[in-house]
Amino acid sequence: MDFFEQQEHARRQTRLLLAYFAASVVVIVVLTYLIFAAFALPFLKPLPHGPRIHNPLVSLLWLLAHSVSCLAPLKAALLLTAG
């Protein structure tokens, strides 16, 4: 294997690592947002007509019903990748 083949192989590996990094950033942002939404947000905003017992699944479904809340992880991912 000569120098140019090694260089091309290294470039392919770099692109793959960058794609893995971008995917991991997106996954971390989305999971952080979902964990926060399921456990912390119900204490900040009461659920409309919801149960008095804290159920993270009900909170998560209520939060995901709003289309605006789904844009927050995308904005955070864009800020992380641009910064």
Q: Please determine, for residue 83, whether its predicted confidence score (pLDDT) is greater than 80.
A: no
User: What pLDDT band is residue 79 in, cutting at 50, 70 and 90?
Assistant: confident
pTM of the model: 0.53
Q: What is the mean pLDDT of the chain?
A: 76
Residue 11 or 60, more confident: 11
Residue range 31-66, pLDDT digits in tens = 887 787 777 766 666 656 655 556 667 666 766 666
* CA dist., res. 55 & res. 24, Å (int): 28
- Contacts by residues 66-70 (CB-CB < 8 Å, ≥ 24 positions apart): 69/37
Q: What is the DSSP string of 48-62?
A: TT--SS--HHHHHHH
